[in-house]
Structure 1
Amino acid sequence: MIKRIAQTAGFTGLLGALLLTLLQSFWVAPLIQQAETYEKAPAAVHEHNEAVAAHEHDAEAWEPEDGWQRVLSTTGGNLVVAVGFALMLAGLYTLRAPGRTREGLLWGLAGYAVFCLAPTLGLPPELPGTAAADLSQRQIWWAGTAASTAVALALIVFGRSWLLKLAGAVILVIPHWVGAPQPEVHASLAPEALESQFKWASQLTNAAFWLALGLISAWLFRRKEAA
């Protein structure tokens, strides 16, 4: 079983990381690079420098250069994340194996809801040069929201009584009722239109990644079971 989980997660993570890197390279990364031009412009041009000071880069900090360095760095990070998520899916399949390969799409949608959609309702993706609240507070809220969404979906989908399903619905909205930490002043160096494009690109890219992760992992897990 351990070998089956590892093989499923390894191949799924590799394919998922390659897909995510490809989508990011052609859609998300160009938007980030465009936003960086506003962030690195002379300070006199911008009126919001004080509000976004927390996002300024240290001149001595290393950053991957545009081109192969950035692609390689992105691919490595995506691979670690994708394999980790694939391990989680494969582990869940040992508890509730998908009867059909297309059921992996439902698991992928659940993963997208837990790790992307729910947290970004309060903390949307940010371009460089965007003001934000304290990092530790955002991390705590993000983790709490992801955990609450996972528990809520499990109760709603697998709960055998309406009380469990109702509890799941309540747990689902609690983080959003509390609210995500917000900066004192909302400001961004990038134009609003660019921010909107980035949010859509990030959401759709992650949705495609999670759907692929769910579908591939379910197919590989069932294939190993048949073998």
Structure 2
Amino acid sequence: MFKRILQTAGFSGLLAALLLTLVQSLWVSPLILQAETYESAPAAQAHEHAEGSAAHSHEHDEEAWAPQDGWQRVLSTAAGNLVVAVGFALMLVGLYSLRMPGSTRQGLLWGLAGFAVFVLAPTLGLPPELPGTAAAELGQRQTWWISTAAATAAGLALLVFGRGLWLKLLGAAWLLGPHVIGAPQPTAHASLAPEALESQFIVASLLTNAVFWVALGALTAWLFRRAHVGEQ
């Protein structure tokens, strides 16, 4: 069982990471590169989405290493995606060991649940940010993100597997709770990149992650079921 979990997570994570890197390189990365041109432009190009002015500081450590555009950036992105993909694949396969998916279609549903927990729910309060975007304090955002993901996972589990109306109502409350409290926000929403570019980036990030999670759910379910049949 342990060997099956590792093999399934490794292969499915690798394939999903390659797919994610490809889609990011074609769609998401060009938007980030475009936003970086505004970040390096004069501060007068900054625009605000709220009344009043906000001080938005940009600190750059010239001695810090950063991947160059091209193959270094792609390889760095691929390596990060691989680590994340294998980690999420291990989580899904661990759940499969407790509740065997009846078909690859059920893996798709598990993938969509992962997308809802780790992408969609947090994005409702903290949308993806381009370089040069004002944001609240990092620790507060991390705390809210983790709390939202945990609450969404618990809420979905109660809605899907809970028996009885009260458990399902409790699940709905867990889903709504973080958004009723609200995510930490900066004093003013300011960005160096145009609003149209921000909107494109948010849509691209959401759809790219949706493709990743659907692929990861399907791959893990298919490989896990195949390995299970091969052992019998």
Shorter-normalised TM range: over 0.9
- Secondary structure of the residue aligned to 2:210 is helix
Contact kept? 2:46, 2:193, Cα under 8 Å: no
Q: State the 1:44 CA deviation.
A: 4.5
User: Which residue in 2 is equivalent to 1:37?
Assistant: 37
Q: C-alpha offsets along residues 153-196 of structure 1, whole Å, 9 cap, x if unaligned?
A: 00000001111111000111000000000001110000000000
Residue 70 (structure 2) aligned to one of 61, 67, 70: 67
Q: Which residue of 2 aligns with 1:171?
A: 174
What's 2:4 paired with?
4
Equivalent residue of 1:131, what SS?
coil
User: Is residue 155–residue 172 contact of structure 2 (8 Å, CA) maintained in 1?
Assistant: yes
Aligned partner of 1:191 in structure 2 is 194
Name the residue aligned to 1:19: 19
Residue in structure 2 matched with residue 107 of structure 1 by the alignment: 110
Could you tell me which residue of structure 1 aligns to residue 56 of structure 2? Answer: 52
For residue 220 of structure 2, give the secondary structure of its aligned residue in structure 1: helix
Aligned to 2:207: 204
Please list the CA deviations of residues 120-162 of structure 1 after superposition, one character each: whole Å capped at 9, or x if unmatched.
0000000000000000000000000000000000000000111
Paired residue type of 1:174: G
CA drift at 1:51: 3.1
Give every structure 1 segment of 4 or more consecutive aligned residues whose post-TM-superposition deviation is greater than 4 Å.
47-50
Query: 2:156, 2:162 → 1: CA distance?
Result: 9
Asked if structure 2 preserves the Cα contact closer than 8 Å seen for 1:148 and 1:171, the reply is yes
Instruction: Give CA-to-partner distance per residue, 1:7-60, whole Å, 9 cap, x none.
Output: 01000100010000000000000000000000011335446796331x543222
Consecutive unaligned residues of structure 2, counting only runs of 5 or more, are: none
User: How many percent identity over aligned positions?
Assistant: 73
Per-residue Cα deviation, 1:84-123 (whole angstroms, up to 9, x for no partner): 0000000000111101111110000000000000000000
For residues 94 and 146 of structure 2, what CA distance do their matches in structure 1 show?
Answer: 20
Q: Is the 8 A contact 2:54 2:187 kept in 1?
A: no
Whichever residue aligns with residue 117 of structure 2, its letter is V
CA distance in 1, matches of 2:126, 2:99: 31
- TM-score with structure 1 setting the length: 0.96
Q: Counterpart in 2 of 1:133?
A: 136
Count of aligned pairs between the two proteins:
226
